[in-house]
Structure 1
Amino acid sequence: MDRPDLRMLALAGAAWAGAGLGRWVGWWALVAVVAGLAVVAVVRRRVAAATSRTVAGVLLVLAAAGTVTVLRLDQVDRGPVGVLAADGAVVQVVGTVRSDPRTVSARYGDLVVTRLELRRVTGRGSSYATAAPVVVIGDADWLDVPLGARVGATGRLGPADDDDLAAVLSARGPPEVLAAPDVWWRGAAAVRASIRSSVAHRPADQRALVPALVDGDDAGLDEALSDDFRTTGLTHLLAVSGTNLTLVVGFLLVLARWAGLRGRALLGVGALGIVGFVLLARTEPSVLRAAVMGSVALLAMGADGRRRGARALGVAVVVLLLVQPSLAVQPGFALSVLATAGIVLLAPGWRDALARWLPRWVAEAIAVPAAAQLACTPVVAGLSGQVSLVAVAANLAAAPAVGPATVLGLCGGLVGLVLPFAGRVLGTLAGWCVAWIVAVATRGAALPTAALDWGTGVLALAVLTVVVVAIALVGPFLLRRPVTGVGCCLLLVLVVTVRPPSPGWPPSGWVLVACDVGQGDALVLNAGPGSAVVVDSGPDPVAVDRCLDRLGVDEVPLVVLTHFHADHVDGLSGVLDGRRVGAVETTVLLDPPGGVREVAAAAGSAGLVPRPAPYGETRQVGDVTLQALWPPPGSPTDGPGDGSTANEASVVLLAEVHGVRILLTGDVEPEGQAALAQVLPGLTVDVLKVPHHGSRYQDEPWLLSLRARVALVSVGADNDYGHPADSTLDPLVDAGTRVLRTDEDGDLAVVVDDGDLGTVAAGG
């Protein structure tokens, strides 16, 4: 069996280390490397020439990567754009649009974000020629600016967090288009539009997924479906990756072979295919990275692939880090390199072991995704806090449909330029293939133990890395025999399909749980065995879904959404997923519009129509007694459109479960709190959900007058809002209230034990 050439991989590691040292240590790292080179020169005669050359090469690459990194950072900091950004200067710029404008939700409305390659910047009385990338944050006028256009704009520069960027430009007013895009950009835009048009008649998931598979265009993809893809390890299908390029260029090479092309002509077709793919998927850093890694994968699939693939991977990493040193700290780059390394280094051994008792094509189909997934596991866990247990099986199940869906989607776009009806036919076929991939993702994510929660601390990731290395080494020995190979598979199936018990959770006698959903609210009232009333759903469908799963909630007779901010409603699809939901109630103020649309779409998919929570009406929902205390009748139903008045319109609920009085306050502001104090003087409760995540803006006398024995703060760790404020929590603590926070203790449960009120924290 061909052995990989590890020397180039050693150089790749040196480049990575050099980029890191240059970023965090600076010139001192380079001085140390020069000293190392001097030591090598002295001892060279005492070691083998080959070893000496390798060590010298490692040190030279490390020095080169470190030098380039330091110079790049210095260029960004001291260049004209960086200096103007540090001063917060108002400037006029001319640049070329380098990414498709996209809409993002912000606290006070939607914004449009795009990238510009600046060619000229004028500010502080001077004008400079430059070549600096910046991110533009503008309004809706920027949505219509085509990729590749040269534009002029005015705005204020500010520092950027990403080292790939020289600054952030907060644009003022619409851009001025100075020159239309070049013909190749217009052609790529036409193909992308044709791909979308070819599947426009298909269901929403297929309309979004076919373009995502072909060119990474995932606009309109449902967040809940994205979470299912993440849980099942299929996220790489939603973004531009080496897989996309391999499929597209591989298809072109097959066509070229059928046409009789060989040798250099075949290489030319491959090169043109790579260039065309980059134009189609956009020349952003992630696309260029994917193109390089996909090219390495194509090379590794040929003769002597393991040796050539390892060399190509090493060269690719070194070149990419010298050209773009900031890749050293980008998770996407690490995942691409690790996945490719797994395929090149691990997959052949696993394939050969499985091929002892399986057909070779089956062995290869299992080994490739398993090796790639295993190599990426520590980084994925560090990013998501999860280890997917169904990723390999999901990728195997989806694999037969990925290639046809990608190729048919591309053909649908190309043919649709000339024959729109034929393009729609091909788009329909691509949509059918995608429907299978969607089924794999949704069914896989619904399995009881589809993903294992894992810590993101140093110790947890170190332990996981050791486990991964052990599996990589032991894997071929276990897989070479049918008994141990099948036994491992059966064990994994058992772990995935049988939900393990959670010791001590949910705690006996629980009446209320505040789910740890990050910076947001999701409260669960115990309505009976397997049943609960849910108040708000947090910002993350996966987080609230898992919280309800841990509580064993299968039926939700009522969901109340206190207001339409994203941190209270974006997780609604997670509540609806796989559960019987009776009704969805909301506040009367239909603002911000984005949240209103999100709720209507999610509820509509479950056959529900949201309705306002009835003011003042006392209702019994299972074991829960509910009464809406706010907003009062006659409150506004229309807002300014930016959500700035939504907090004050929060639904405030008084609930009682097994004799425990609970006040759920949403994000109601001090004015509303003062009004409630006047309307309901003498109101006291056992449990208070502190308004607005413990914000400092509170009516302190009202909070203290409630005389709550327990106060729960639902808040995200290290949030940017300063929540919760000591000025809010300290008076409650001084008054004898026990205050608990989800950012410190995880899920929080209020329990009743023989009439006594207690609390249990999932985090200990």
Structure 2
Amino acid sequence: MWNVAAFAVVTVSLAGGALVASVVAVDEPHRFPVLAHVAAARHNRVDVQVVLSSTPETRHSPGGDTLRFRGRVTGLRLAGGASSDASSGAGSSGDGSSGDAGDAGALSMPVLVMVPSPPETPRGLAIGATVRMVGTLTATAPGDSTAALLFGRDPPVVTAAPPAWLSWASPVRDRFAAAAAGLPGDGAALLPGLAIGDTSAVGDDLDVAMKQSSLSHLTAVSGANCAVVIAAVMLGAALLRLARGARIALALLVLGAFVVLVTPDPSVLRASLMAVIVLASYGLGRPAGGVPALALAIIALLVVDPWLSRNYGFALSVLATAGLLVLAAPLARSLARWMPRWLATVIAIPAAAQLACQPVLVLLTPALPLYGVPANLLAAPAAPVATVLGLIACLLLPLLPGVAAGILHLAWLPSAFIAAVATTCAGLPGSQLPWPEGILGFVACLAVTVALIIVLVRGNAAGNRRWVTLAAVLLLGFAGSYAGSLLGSGWARARGFPNDWQIAACDIGQGDAVLVRDGDAHALVDVGPDPALLTTCLATLGITHIDLLVLTHYDLDHVGGVEAVIGKVGLVLVGPPENAQDERLHTRLAAAGATVREAGAGDSGTLGGLRWRVLWPRRDAVPVITGNPASVTVTFEGRGIRSIFLGDLGEDAQQAMMAAASPSPVDVVKVAHHGSADQSAALYRRLQATVGLISVGVDNGYGHPTRSLLGMLRASGTRALRTDQCGMILVAPGGEGGALRVWSERAPPALTTSGTSVQPG
């Protein structure tokens, strides 16, 4: 029996794989035609026609706001009448005119469009609209859901409005979002996501909290939302005594409208197609099982769009559903041996989904959410209430705005409760347990998950004692090793650090790598000498993306660790290059997607709620300075802390910077040049910093930090904190009175100083 079932599964899987592979072979020429290849390789500007497939959204970054949306290019030609050699072999007419990619009806190239955000979003820019724009193409990695990135300098021009069956939804979504924005607090930001999957109002802090507490799935429309909609329609149709066929037809019609309203994201497509399959089987009098419906939906969606297989949202939606269908019931039965059955069922549902998804989640964020299941237990009862009431309010706003406003206020209550659960759980000690990155982390998490399922689900089954015992031994051995690694790496101390830390000095030996954070926005000043050490620091702090990277100068102890952040950076500020090697570093960063800009005094921007400003070097300096004297000097201010980072400036350069920029007093100074003797006492007296961070290696051979520098800091009332003694150091605002809170991985020689509370982790 098992052999027959296994053979059937393998046969269907191979047939499905062959079908999807055939679709890929047929679609590939239309996804990225030859002309697009040529234009991307030669950086030619292209004139394109794009049909939007996602809602435009504005992304805020230190380099400037960006308007982004996904779409499909249906018309493509080289802009400006490209010469025939530029488009040779790529659809050129051969007469010097621009080359066309071919029949617009055949071309369907998925792209991610990015343009500078205009003051106002162009009217009519919505899903289904057709736009025209000029930009440049950058090919993405093979297998990516988009074939290319399209960068435009000017906003797109809408040439055709969405079709009627799509155009009604955008005003409804916008009206609901505007109404919810009038409510207070995080509940207002979260409500559109719970009701219709619109997370545009969710701020960075709340977004991080939702992810760290494993509640972000609540803002992704899924099977639960579709089930609520269909159940409501079927119940209403039954009360009206409609025939089965009419009920199913009405349910399908409403489901289609719901998908248009919430936008067809991968999780929505999976859930809605499963619902269609279940309704169809119900109409035929043969109710479908959950697993067959899920399998059929997966195959159908991958045949239509094989590149969904690389989409994390789609994979997590499939895994969560599979976990609920396969694991929830046996897990509930096992847990019922130790607790009431109703409680076992309540715990089993989020636990099953978490177990199924966690191996993939560690690929996105190498950490384990310690409070994920408890957070879901608390939020689960509130989520459907907020969803249903929010959806009702959304639909009533155009018709009965007064009634809708009252319902909206009721929906806000469970929404605010969910937001409070997320922020509370995310702020608890140890909310994120560190985990290895990449394929190693995936395999390790998969092995632990399988062993845990064997112990929990198969523990009381006859004939499985040997497997259960082996799995239990593996889990115990892993738990001991994991706990030891946490203690040995200092992570246990790190989890005691304040959740609102703003500055973190990484312990990377003799070099600089200091992070500045506000919410989910991160800046990094220098990258230290070794990518492995920087990777460890970033993983400990749970940081996977750097919005702003400042490379103060090009000494190895400041740029040697750059491999750890290649491909993870938004904007890079660099000092004046000294040679071709420095320029190649700029090219590498830009090729990996970063915007590289040579910094100069007066440059400024934002990092979340913080404001940064470059004080040095001056662009008009004659002669041009390079090296240590040209170290990019930057300040950050906001959220109760003002800080300055001095790179490796020597005394003369410090005096020149002080004369040119007149820096104001600060709370935190990153001491120049690891505490060398080449310092300006006048600068430190002027800064009057409470804390001086010295990034320095143990027994570094240079005598850093020097006695003279430490004396300057003492004379200025600045408390010196050294990474060679303290390990990693974090600084957080202390609230009233301007005091700072400082946590260190290892205890410094003295634990208190005026105005500052310094505690070991």
Same fold (TM over 0.5): yes
Aligned partner of 1:180: which letter? Answer: A
Note the C-alpha offset of 1:222: 2.3
Other-structure match for 2:65? 110
Q: 8 Å contact 1:73–1:163 — kept in the other structure?
A: no
TM-score (norm 1): 0.61
**Take 2:181 and 2:429, find their aligned partners in 1: how far apart are those partners?**
34
Structure 1, 224-233 or 414-423: larger mean CA deviation: 224-233
Cα 1:734–1:322 shift into 2, 3 Å: farther
Could you tell me which of 130, 135, 153 is aligned with 2:112? 135
Structure 1 residue 169 and structure 2 residue 157: aligned?
Answer: no
Structure 1 residue 347 and structure 2 residue 339: aligned?
Answer: no
- Specify the SS of the correspondent of 1:442: helix
Other-structure match for 2:436? 455
**Take 1:426 and 1:96, find their aligned partners in 2: how far apart are those partners?**
35
Structure 1 residue 207 and structure 2 residue 207: aligned?
Answer: no
Structure 1 residue 153 and structure 2 residue 138: aligned?
Answer: no
Structure 1 residue 403 and structure 2 residue 414: aligned?
Answer: no
Note the C-alpha offset of 1:353: 4.3
Q: 8 Å contact 2:278–2:288 — kept in the other structure?
A: no
Structure 1 residue 439 and structure 2 residue 424: aligned?
Answer: no
Could you tell me which of 522, 527, 534 is aligned with 2:504? 522
Other-structure match for 1:712? 695
Other-structure match for 2:609? 598
Other-structure match for 1:367? 348
Note the C-alpha offset of 1:432: 0.9
Other-structure match for 2:556? none
Aligned partner of 2:517: which letter? Answer: G
Aligned partner of 2:43: which letter? Answer: G
Other-structure match for 2:201? 220
1:222-261 Cα offsets, whole Å, 9 max, x none, are: 2222222112211101233333333333333333333334
Cα 1:362–1:254 shift into 2, 3 Å: farther
Other-structure match for 2:47? 92
* Equivalent residue pairs, number: 564
Q: 8 Å contact 2:62–2:571 — kept in the other structure?
A: no
- Specify the SS of the correspondent of 2:455: helix
Across the aligned residues of Structure 1 and Structure 2, the Cα RMSD in angstroms comes to: 5.4
Other-structure match for 2:171? 190
1:596-653 Cα offsets, whole Å, 9 max, x none, are: x7249xxxxxxxxxxx99xxxxxxxxxxxxxxx9899xxxxxxxxxxxx99645269x
**Take 1:63 and 1:240, find their aligned partners in 2: how far apart are those partners?**
30
**Take 1:672 and 1:193, find their aligned partners in 2: how far apart are those partners?**
56
Cα 1:672–1:434 shift into 2, 3 Å: farther
Structure 1, 50-59 or 340-349: larger mean CA deviation: 50-59
1:60-96 Cα offsets, whole Å, 9 max, x none, are: 3333333333554455344443443333221222222
Note the C-alpha offset of 1:164: 2.3
Structure 1 residue 468 and structure 2 residue 445: aligned?
Answer: no
Note the C-alpha offset of 1:712: 2.7
Other-structure match for 2:576? none
Other-structure match for 1:538? 517
Note the C-alpha offset of 1:313: 1.5
Aligned partner of 1:69: which letter? Answer: V
Note the C-alpha offset of 1:107: 4.3
Cα 1:340–1:52 shift into 2, 3 Å: closer
Note the C-alpha offset of 1:537: 3.9
Q: Kindly, what percent of the aligned residue pairs are identical?
A: 30
Cα 1:256–1:307 shift into 2, 3 Å: closer
Cα 1:163–1:82 shift into 2, 3 Å: farther
- Specify the SS of the correspondent of 1:218: coil
1:694-719 Cα offsets, whole Å, 9 max, x none, are: xxxxxx99978359x99638xxxxxx
Q: 8 Å contact 2:633–2:645 — kept in the other structure?
A: no
Aligned partner of 2:230: which letter? Answer: V
1:193-237 Cα offsets, whole Å, 9 max, x none, are: 232244233113122111101221111212222222112211101
Structure 1 residue 63 and structure 2 residue 18: aligned?
Answer: yes
Stretches of structure 1 that go unaligned for 5 or more consecutive residues are: 7-47, 481-487, 489-494, 526-534, 552-562, 569-588, 601-611, 614-628, 633-644, 653-662, 681-686, 692-699, 714-728, 756-764
Structure 1, 52-61 or 213-222: larger mean CA deviation: 52-61
**Take 1:750 and 1:359, find their aligned partners in 2: how far apart are those partners?**
45
Other-structure match for 2:314? 333
Cα 1:702–1:347 shift into 2, 3 Å: closer
Q: 8 Å contact 1:300–1:308 — kept in the other structure?
A: no
Structure 1 residue 233 and structure 2 residue 214: aligned?
Answer: yes
**Take 1:592 and 1:294, find their aligned partners in 2: how far apart are those partners?**
51
Q: 8 Å contact 1:416–1:424 — kept in the other structure?
A: yes
Could you tell me which of 651, 655, 674 is aligned with 2:653? 674
**Take 1:479 and 1:514, find their aligned partners in 2: how far apart are those partners?**
39
- Write out aligned runs for 1:413-428 (5 A): 413-428=394-409
Structure 1, 233-242 or 427-436: larger mean CA deviation: 233-242
Aligned partner of 1:650: which letter? Answer: T
Aligned partner of 2:23: which letter? Answer: V
**Take 1:294 and 1:667, find their aligned partners in 2: how far apart are those partners?**
59
- Specify the SS of the correspondent of 1:257: helix
Structure 1, 65-74 or 435-444: larger mean CA deviation: 65-74
Aligned partner of 1:122: which letter? Answer: R
Stretches of structure 2 that go unaligned for 5 or more consecutive residues are: 83-97, 462-471, 473-478, 508-513, 524-535, 542-551, 553-568, 573-600, 618-629, 660-667, 681-691, 706-721, 730-743, 752-761
**Take 2:355 and 2:131, find their aligned partners in 1: how far apart are those partners?**
45
Aligned partner of 1:712: which letter? Answer: S
**Take 2:67 and 2:391, find their aligned partners in 1: how far apart are those partners?**
28
**Take 2:616 and 2:110, find their aligned partners in 1: how far apart are those partners?**
48
Note the C-alpha offset of 1:319: 2.0
TM-score (norm 2): 0.62
Structure 1 residue 650 and structure 2 residue 632: aligned?
Answer: no
**Take 2:488 and 2:50, find their aligned partners in 1: how far apart are those partners?**
59
Other-structure match for 2:223? 242
Cα 1:119–1:205 shift into 2, 3 Å: same
- Specify the SS of the correspondent of 2:65: strand
Aligned partner of 2:635: which letter? Answer: S
- Write out aligned runs for 1:262-341 (5 A): 262-285=243-266, 287-292=268-273, 308-341=289-322
Other-structure match for 2:564? none
**Take 2:365 and 2:312, find their aligned partners in 1: how far apart are those partners?**
11
Note the C-alpha offset of 1:175: 2.5
Other-structure match for 2:738? none
**Take 1:543 and 1:302, find their aligned partners in 2: how far apart are those partners?**
53
Cα 1:50–1:394 shift into 2, 3 Å: closer
**Take 1:224 and 1:333, find their aligned partners in 2: how far apart are those partners?**
25
Q: Write 1 or 2 for the structure with the bigger share of helix.
A: 1
Aligned partner of 2:116: which letter? Answer: D
Note the C-alpha offset of 1:341: 0.9
**Take 2:264 and 2:306, find their aligned partners in 1: how far apart are those partners?**
17
Note the C-alpha offset of 1:465: 2.0
Q: 8 Å contact 1:648–1:672 — kept in the other structure?
A: no
1:640-696 Cα offsets, whole Å, 9 max, x none, are: xxxxx99645269xxxxxxxxxx985266979982436869xxxxxx99587xxxxx
- Specify the SS of the correspondent of 2:131: strand
- Specify the SS of the correspondent of 1:326: helix
